[in-house]
Structure 1
Amino acid sequence: MATTGLEVFDRTLHITNIWLDEIMKTIGPDRHAAWHALGAVLHALRDRLPLELAVHLGAQLPLLVRGLYYDQWHVGRQPEKLRSLDEFLQRVAEGLRGTRPMDVRDATLAVLRTLAHHVDAGQVRKVADVLPGEIRAFWKEGERAAVEGAAGAAPARGGTTA
């Protein structure tokens, strides 16, 4: 069922809506808020990555999401030195200003889980590997909780891995 009459646009709209639907499962049924959460997390992530890795991640994103990812990017800037989870979440919160209130941790995890679900696993691993341990562990725990929740499994046993 064509919406725009151009297959490439229809496909990216379809895929983007799948991503937004996944984010809305966590933050609530507000597509506008999901779009802003996606952008805020992608920008915080992009601005923390080394240039080459940021570009490789961008190439893996659906066309419409890729536009959001690159929006307002200044390639000449050095990667931000966000060393802690709190600093990363604060950067995401700054990107969420002007949207409806939402839990920044939940929104961040929803986007990171969506990325891990749709982007090549090797690329996700490379991105996670350059993040500080606290942020990497947050992402991994969020993924683990989602998998266990989806499978109806018991809560995670053991500690957090970095």
Structure 2
Amino acid sequence: MSAQNLEVLDHTVQLTHEWVNELRERLDWPSSRDALRLMRAVLTEVRDHIPHAEVAQLSAQMPLLIRGMFFEGWQPARTSGHDRDAAHFLAAIDRRVGQVDGYRGRDDIAAVFATLANRVSEGELRHVRHALPPAIRSFWPADTIWDD
């Protein structure tokens, strides 16, 4: 039992650490903070490139803290005009990640998608992948794709 009787908070902190630690290990980075920054950057760019109903369905499978970061600052009316090509997607993430030692761009973005593939249901991931523009979908690692 939680010392503060706030088990829901303890549980989401634990789940968030699991997601971030998995990503950090995939990246082979020493910093959980940098891994979380990358996760947040990728997830918010994905959010801005899929339909709003899909955003809600994907977020329902995230730990509460990650879901909060996923929605923070979101302005749904301003997301429909996002550039849908891979270069803009990558550049937007690069800007948000900043100067992280060892950041490898596309390979590290694929690590976020691999973490999602391990944490989110297969059916939901199929929906998200198919909702993404093909150029952005190409960032997804082949070994986490069940059908196309």
> Which residue does 1:55 correspond to in 2?
56
> Which structure carries more relative contact order (alpha carbon 8 Å, separation 6+)?
2
1:40 and 2:41 equivalent?
yes
Q: For each residue in 1:97-141, what CA deviation from the matched residue of structure 2 results, as whole angstroms up to 9, or x when unmatched?
A: 3x5241222321111111111111111100100112232233042
Q: Say whether the 8 Å CA contact 2:15–2:63 is kept in structure 1.
A: yes
Matched residues in 2 for 1:7 and 1:96: separation?
32
Quick one: which amino acid aligns to residue 93 of structure 1? D
Q: Runs in 1 of length 4+ with deviation above 6 angstroms?
A: none
**CA, structure 1 residues 3+129, in 2 after alignment: closer, same or farther (shift >3 Å)?**
farther
> Which residue does 2:26 correspond to in 1?
26
Q: TM-score, normalised by structure 1?
A: 0.79
**Offset at residue 3 of structure 1 (A):** 6.8
RMSD value, Cα: 2.2
> Which residue does 1:112 correspond to in 2?
113
Q: Say whether the 8 Å CA contact 2:49–2:133 is kept in structure 1.
A: no
Matched residues in 2 for 1:73 and 1:142: separation?
31
Deviates more, 1:115-124 or 1:86-95: 86-95
Matched residues, number: 145
What percentage of aligned pairs have identical amino acids?
32
1:11 and 2:11 equivalent?
yes
Structure 2, unpaired ranges of 5+: none
Q: TM-score, normalised by structure 2?
A: 0.85
Matched residues in 2 for 1:44 and 1:119: separation?
17
Matched residues in 2 for 1:90 and 1:64: separation?
25
Q: Say whether the 8 Å CA contact 1:47–1:80 is kept in structure 2.
A: no
Matched residues in 2 for 1:43 and 1:20: separation?
15
Matched residues in 2 for 1:3 and 1:32: separation?
26
Matched residues in 1 for 2:143 and 2:90: separation?
14
Matched residues in 2 for 1:75 and 1:133: separation?
21
> Which residue does 1:135 correspond to in 2?
136
